[in-house]
Structure 1
Amino acid sequence: MSEHVSEAEATKAVDPQTVKKVAVAALVGTALEWYDFFLFTTASALVFNVQYFVSGDPVVSTMEAFGTLAVGFVARPIGGLIFGHLGDKYGRRLCLMVTIIGIGAVTALIGLLPNYMSIGMAAPIFLIALRILQGLAVGGEWSGAVTIAVEHAPIKQRARFAAMPQLGSPIGTLLSSGGFFLVVFLSSQASFDAWGWRIPFLLSIPFLLISVLIRRSLSESPVFNELLEAGEKESAPIKQVLIKTPIQLVLGIAVALLGIGGFYLVTTFVISYGTQTLGLSSQLMLFGTLIAAALEIPVLLYGGRLGERFGASRVAIWGGVVSAAVAYPAFLLVETKNPVLVVVGMTVAVAALSFPYAASGTILTGLFPARLRYTGVAISSNMAGVVSGFVPLIATAVVAAAGQSYWPAALMLVIISLITATGGMLAPRMSINEKGLKH
C-alpha cells in the first residue's frame, strides 16, 4: 500500500471537529513560540545592544546583539534533530508538550536576567546560554505543530490546515511588539531601560499555562498511529533523512527561507535601521510591525485557501515573485521617513512574503514520507532558520559598508524571494504527495 493511500485512509476516519481542534492547539503553541522568539528579536534591536553589550560604537553593539539573535538560530537545527528524532520515533504529541514548556520557561528567565551593569560579562554569557536553550526548544516546535496538523487533515484540505500554525507568527508578533509598544508608550525611556522591557518577557508565564492547558487535549497523529500499528516506525530517522532525502532538504530550506529570513529583514532589521539610521522613533517602527502583523493574519488564511484551490507550489512561486517585485519600493517608502509611508512599506513587504509562508507547511510536509516527516521538516525549516538568523546581522554590515544606504538590504530581499520561488517551482517534482502540492 502506498504511503499516499495509507495517509488518506488514516485521516478519513478523523472527525472534522477533531481536525479543527488539533489545528487550534497547534496554533496556540506556535503563537507562544513566536511570541517568545519575537520578544528576543525586538529586544535585540531595542534593548540588548545597550543592556548586555556595552561598546563605544553603536553599530558594533547592535551587531553583537544581532549575533546573539543568530546564535539561537544556530541552535535551532540541533533542536530540530533532537525533537525530529523523538517525534518520528515516539510520537508528535509528547515532543510538542516538551518544546512549549521549554520555550516559555526560558523566556521568563530572560526577563529575570541581570544586565551588564549589574553582573558584568556574566550577563551576556547567560543571555547567550538562554538563547541557545530557547533555540533548541523552538527547533522542534513549528515542525511538530505543522506535522500534527497536516496528519490530522484530509489530503485535499492539507493546505488550509497547514496554514493554521503559520498564524502563530503574526499573532506572536502582535503580542510581543504590542507588549513592547505599550511599555514604551506608557513609560519613560529610563523606566523602560531599567525594568519596563522585562514585562513582556515575564508575561510568557501566563501565556505558557494557557498553552499547556489547551495542548494537553491534543490527540496523537492518526498517521503516526498507523505507522505504529503497521510496524513501519523509523528507528533512525536522522540517518535516513540525510541519506535518502538530501534534495528534499535543500528544497525545503529554499521554500522556508522567505517566510523566516525575509520577515526578519523587513521587521527586525528595519526597526534597527529606522531608529538608528533614519532617526525614526521606536514607537513608529513597532507600530509598523503591529500593522504588518495584523494584515498578515488574513493573508495567511487566504494563502492557505489559494493553496487548497491552486496548489501550494504555485502560491510559493508567485508569492516569491511578488515579494521580489515590491522589495525596492517597500524600502523606498521606509526611506521617506513619512510615518504613514513607513508603515505602508513594512506592511506591503510582509504581506507579499506571507503568501509563500502560508504555503510552506504544505510543501515541506509533502516532501518527506510520514515515517521521516517530523525530522525532515525540522531539519529543512531550521536550516532555513540558521540562514535567517544571520540576515539582520548581514544586512546591518552591508548597509553600513554602503554608507548606510538601504539598497543592499532591498537586494537581499529580492535574492531571498527568488530563492523561495525557485524552491516552490521544483518542490512538486520531489514530493511524495504531489496531489497535496498541486492539482
Structure 2
Amino acid sequence: MDEKRRSAVKGAFFSEFIDMFDIYLPVVVLSPVLFFFQPRHLSPGVEAILASLVFITTLLGRPVGALLFGMIADRIGRRMASIYSVSGFGIITFLIALLPGYNSIGISSYFLLVALRFLDGICLGGGYTGAMPLAIEYSRKDQRGFVGGLIIAGFPAAYVTINLIAMLMFALFPLHGLDSPYARWGWRIPFVIGAILAGFLAFYYIFKVSESEIWKAEIGERPEKLPFMDLLRGKSARNLAQVLILMSGFWLTQNIITIFVPTTLLSRFLHLSHLQLTSTLLMSYAVLFFSYIGSGLIGQRIGRRRFFVVMGPVIATVGAGILYVLVSTDGLSLPVIMLLVCALSVIVTSPWGVIVTYINERFVTDVRATGFGVGFSLSVIIPSFYAFYMNWLSALMPFHLTPVFLLCIGGLIGMVGALMGPETRDVDF
C-alpha cells in the first residue's frame, strides 16, 4: 500500500507540474512571437484581441475537460482518466510545435493555434481531475494536508522551470524579427519538451500507478447513472455551491498575483526592466513552492475551514496593505520590491496549499472527481474578468486602488464560502 500511495502522490505532483508547464507555454514562450501566426500591420487593438484569444480559449476548455474527465474518473476510474487526459494534451502540445506560420497557410495558422489550445484546455482540465482525487484517496487521513500542499507546489515549480527554459531559448536563439532563429523554430523546442514530459507521465500512470482502492471498493454499490446528475441534486449540489463560492473568492485573489502582478504591477507601476521583473517573479515562485507545503501542514493541524476563515481576512487586510504600498509608493528599491512581492504572494496564495485536499473531502466517492473538477475549474471563469472589474471600478476610485479593492473582496468572499461549509479534516472516505 505504501508503494501505491507514493506512486499516486508522485503522479499527482507531476500531473500538476506538467499541467502548469503547458498552461504557461503560450504565456512565456509564445507571446513574443504571436506575429508568426498573424497578418502584418494589425492595429494594436486587434493584436491584443488575437493574443487574448490564445489564452482565453484554453481557459474556456478547462471546465469542459473537468466535467468530461471528471465523469470518466467517477465511472471508469481515476487512473484511466489521468492516462487519457495526459496523453491528449501531450499529443496536442506536440501538434502545436509543428504548426506552420501565416506566411505558409495564411490566417488558418492562427485559427489552428486557437483550436488546438482549446482542445489542450479540455485535456488539461482533465489532467488534475483524475490525478488529484486518486492521490488524496490513497493518502492517510493525517497526511492529506501535506499531500495536497505538495501537489499544488507543482505549480510554482513549473513556472520557474518554464521561465528558465525560455531564458535559455532566448539566449541560444535570438529573436529579432520574423526570420530570426527563435521566431522560426526556437519557440517550438519548449513545446516539444512539454509533449515529451506528458508522454513520460502517461507511461508512468500506465506502469506505476494503481487504481484507487477506495473507488474500487465502492464501484459495485453505485447506481448506473451519470455522476454529473448526482452532483446537481441533494447534498452534493449544496456542497458544490459552497465550493464554487469559496473558490470564486480565492481565484479572484489568485489572479491578482498570477496575472496582475507580472503583467501590470511590476512593469507598469514599478517600471522594472525585463531582467528585474523575471528575477522578482522567479524568486517569489521559488518561495511559493515551500509556502504551499507549509500551508497544507498548517491546515492539517488547525483545520482546513479554520485556515480559510483566518486567511480570508488576512488577505483582505495585510495582503491588501502590502499591495497598496506597492502600487502607491514611488522609489522603492529592487530588494524591497522583491521582499514585498514575496510576502504578498505567500499571504494571498496560501489558501491554495489547502484547497486541493479540502475540495476532495467535500464530495463523496461517487462524485468526488466530477465535483472536484467542476468546483475547481468552473469557479475560475467569473474571477478571470478581473481586468474588466478594475476598469469599471476606476469610475469610482483611482485606478491603482482597484486591485487593492478586489483583493479585499476576494479574501472576504473566500472567508464567507468557508463559513458556509463544515470542517473536513476528520472526514472518512
- Tell me which interval the TM-score lies in, with the shorter structure as reference length: 0.7 to 0.9
1:367 to 358, 362, 374: 362
Matched, 1:138 2:130: no
| Pairing of 1:7-406 with structure 2 (within 5 A) | 15-43=1-29, 46-48=32-34, 52=38, 57-58=43-44, 61-116=47-102, 118-185=104-171, 187-190=173-176, 191=180, 192-216=182-206, 217-228=208-219, 230-232=220-222, 235-244=225-234, 245-257=236-248, 260-273=251-264, 274-275=266-267, 279-325=271-317, 326-330=319-323, 332-333=325-326, 336=330, 338-391=333-386, 393-394=387-388, 405-406=399-400
Name the structure 2 match of 1:9.
none
Query: Which consecutive aligned stretches of 4+ in structure 1 deviate over 6 angstroms post-superposition?
Result: 399-404
Q: Which stretch shows the higher mean deviation, 176-185 or 334-343?
A: 334-343
Shift in alpha-carbon separation, 1:173–1:398, aligned structure 2, 3 A: farther
The one-letter amino acid of 1:327's match is A
Distance 1:160 1:401 in 2: 44
Shift of 1:128: 1.5
TM-score of the superposition, structure 1-length normalised?
0.84
Q: SS where residue 390 of structure 1 aligns?
A: helix
CA distance in 2, matches of 1:412, 1:296: 21
Q: Secondary structure at the match of 1:113?
A: coil
Q: Does residue 427 in structure 1 map to residue 421 in structure 2?
A: yes
Structure 1 residues 388 and 80: CA distance shift in structure 2, 3 A: same
Shift of 1:154: 2.1
Question: Matches of 1:61 and 1:162 in 2, distance apart?
Answer: 39
Aligned residue in 1 for 2:410: 416
Native 8 Å contact 1:300 1:355 kept in 2: yes
Secondary structure of 2:222's aligned partner: coil
- Tell me if structure 2 keeps the 8 A contact 1:88–1:234: no
What is the CA deviation profile of residues 292-323 of structure 1, one whole-angstrom value per residue up to 9, with x for unaligned ones?
Answer: 21111111111111111111112222233222
Alpha-carbon shift at residue 83 of structure 1 (Å): 0.8
CA drift at 1:107: 2.2
Q: Give the stretch that moved more between structures: 330-339 or 244-253.
A: 330-339
Contact kept? 1:24, 1:164, Cα under 8 Å: no
8 Å Cα contact 1:307-1:359 kept in structure 2: yes
Q: Percent identity?
A: 23
Q: How far apart are residue 115 of structure 1 and its match?
A: 3.9
8 Å CA contact retained: 1:46, 1:272: no
Are the equivalent residues in 2 in contact too, given 1:150–1:362 (CA < 8 A)? yes
Deviations 1:108-153 (A, max 9, x none): 3333333445543223311211111011111112222221111111
User: Where in structure 2 are there 5+ consecutive unaligned residues?
Assistant: none
Q: Distance in 2 between matches of 1:309 and 1:239?
A: 35
Q: 1:319 to 1:200 in 2, by over 3 A?
A: farther
Summarize the Cα distance change of 1:307–1:181 in structure 2 as closer, same or farther, 3 Å threshold.
same
- Cα 1:250–1:42, aligned 2, differ >3 Å: closer, same or farther? farther
Q: Give the count of matched residue pairs.
A: 418
CA contact (8 A) 1:313 1:359 kept: no
Shift in Å at residue 290 of structure 1? 1.6
Gapped regions of structure 1 (runs ≥ 5)? 1-14
Offset of residue 47 of structure 1: 4.5
Range that drifts further, 175-184 or 296-305: 175-184
Farther-moved stretch of structure 1 (329-338 vs 132-141): 329-338
Contact in 1 for aligned 2:304/2:358 (Cα 8 Å)? yes
Q: 2: CA distance between counterparts of 1:420 and 1:124? A: 38
- Cα shift at 1:171: 1.5
**Aligned partners of 1:195 and 1:145: how far apart in 2?**
33
Instruction: Measure the CA separation in 2 of the matches of 1:53 and 1:345.
Output: 41
Give the deviation of 1:402 after TM superposition.
Answer: 9.3
Structure 2 CA distance for aligned equivalents of residues 193 and 235 of structure 1: 50
Amino acid at match of 1:343: M
- CA distance in 1 between counterparts of 2:425 and 2:74 reads 22
Call closer, same or farther: CA 1:204–1:280 in 2, change over 3 Å: same
Q: Residue type of the partner of 2:93? A: T
Deviation at 1:49, TM superposition (A): 7.4
When residues 277 and 52 of structure 1 are mapped into structure 2, their CA distance, relative to the original with a 3 A threshold, is farther
Could you state the TM-score of these two structures normalised by the residue count of structure 2? 0.86
Residues 125/290 of structure 1: CA separation in 2 closer, same or farther (3 Å cut): same
- Partner amino acid, structure 2, of 1:359: V
Q: Is the 8 A contact 1:362 1:436 kept in 2?
A: no
Q: For 2:261 and 2:50, how far apart are their aligned partners in 1? A: 17
Q: Distance in 1 between matches of 2:393 and 2:35?
A: 18
Deviates further, 73-82 or 267-276: 267-276
One-letter amino acid matched to 2:323: A
- Residues 353 and 305 of structure 1: CA distance in aligned 2, closer, same or farther (over 3 Å): same
